[in-house]
Amino acid sequence: MNDLGRAPSKQRLRLWLRMLSAHRGVESCLRERLRESHDSTLPRFDVLSALDRYRDGLRMSDLSARLKVSNGNVTGIVERLAGEGLVERAAVDGDRRAMLVRLTPLGIERFAAMAADHETWIDELLGTFSGAELETLITLLDRIGDHPA
């Protein structure tokens, strides 16, 4: 047992539940603000964000892999974004089955506005932490990484 009278496994479980609760709270707020301010969803934001980082475009399979979602989920979002003129699809040379997706100029413009608001909202939501606390949290969370244990 530790100082708090809890076994380390119980503390880790408590930490996980706190992290999950904090994540859900922030995500819920972001979903609501994206909907109200940009008539958009968090999955649409995620697709636009990935495509913004890869301006030359991504294959649909690479896009879904980066977002860690199924091809089917990405396909529906991309179809709607293409219908709104925010992304364009192009055939991949040498692979008739593959499609490359990239932002259009309108998509770049709209995403820039969304990303600016997103950064402001995150700053507000996490604004109670000092710079030193943020660095500590980042360092500690980096120890978990993408592939724990």
Q: What is the pLDDT of residue 2?
A: 54
Average pLDDT over residues 128-141: 94
* Helix 42-53 vs helix 105-125: crossing angle, to nearest 10: 120
Cα separations in angstroms, 42 against 5, 22, 32, 129, 133: 40, 17, 9, 24, 27
The domains located in the chain, with CATH, are 40-142 (1.10.10.10)
Count other C-beta atoms under 10 Å from residue 91's C-beta: 11
Count other C-beta atoms under 10 Å from residue 44's C-beta: 20
Give the chain's length.
Answer: 149
Tell me the per-residue pLDDT of 5-63, one tens digit each, with 9 for 90 and over. 788 999 999 999 999 999 999 999 999 999 999 999 999 999 999 999 999 999 999 99
pTM of the model: 0.86
CA atoms within 13 A on the CB side of 85: 4
Cα 4 to Cα 126: distance, rounded to the nearest angstrom: 27
Tell me the per-residue pLDDT of 72-99, one tens digit each, with 9 for 90 and over. 889 999 999 999 999 999 988 887 788 8
